[in-house]
Amino acid sequence: MKDVFKDILKGKVVVVGVGNPIKGDDGFVPALIERIKDKTSMVCIDAGSTPESYAGKIIKERPDTILIVDAVHLGVSAGEYDILKSSEIEKSGFTTHDISPRMFLDYLERETGSNIYMLGVQPENISFGAEMTESVEKTLREIARLITEE
């Protein structure tokens, strides 16, 4: 998977985390942003559960690459992850949030011309008040290491 990160994280990269720290495995995303933000030259944005509110900030950065990170229903075991191209995102079963991913991604593509990817992690438990599960915590450590090595 390291080669995949190396292949896509090119030019000026903006990492946009979409997640809620009080919803179990959905807290993976803010935890990841916190771990990598001071260890990489990438612009890291913790967008909470409203990434559309950060569209202006993302566009202003003029990124070559946008990596959106979210808990995603991939239909695989908890903690497994995949990197999806923008065109593949709707096929995934998508996010644990209520936003319209296609509209948001189309807007970002139109406004930035960036390559857009989504790093989706399969959650096990996204209940309010739940702790992050061990499988997703392990994935958090792995992905933080892979991203900061780039």
Q: Which fold has domain 2-149?
A: Rossmann fold (3.40.50)
Residue 92 has a pLDDT of 43
What type of residue is 51?
P
Higher per-residue confidence, 64 vs 98: 64
Residue 96 has a pLDDT of 45
Task: Name the E strands within the chain.
Answer: 13-18, 43-46, 65-71, 81-85, 115-121
What would the pLDDT profile of 82-135 be if each residue is shown by its tens digit?
A: 998 877 766 444 444 455 667 788 899 999 999 999 999 999 999 999 999 999
Mapped onto helix, strand or coil, the DSSP state of residue 115 is strand
Task: Flag whether pLDDT at 50 surpasses 80.
Answer: yes
Average pLDDT, the chain: 88
Q: What is the mean pLDDT of residues 20-37?
A: 94
Spatial strand order in the sheet of 13-18: 43-46, 13-18, 65-71, 115-121, 81-85
Higher per-residue confidence, 28 vs 103: 28
Domain residue ranges of the chain, discontinuous segments joined by +: 2-149
Q: Give me the percent of the chain exceeding a pLDDT of 70.
A: 89
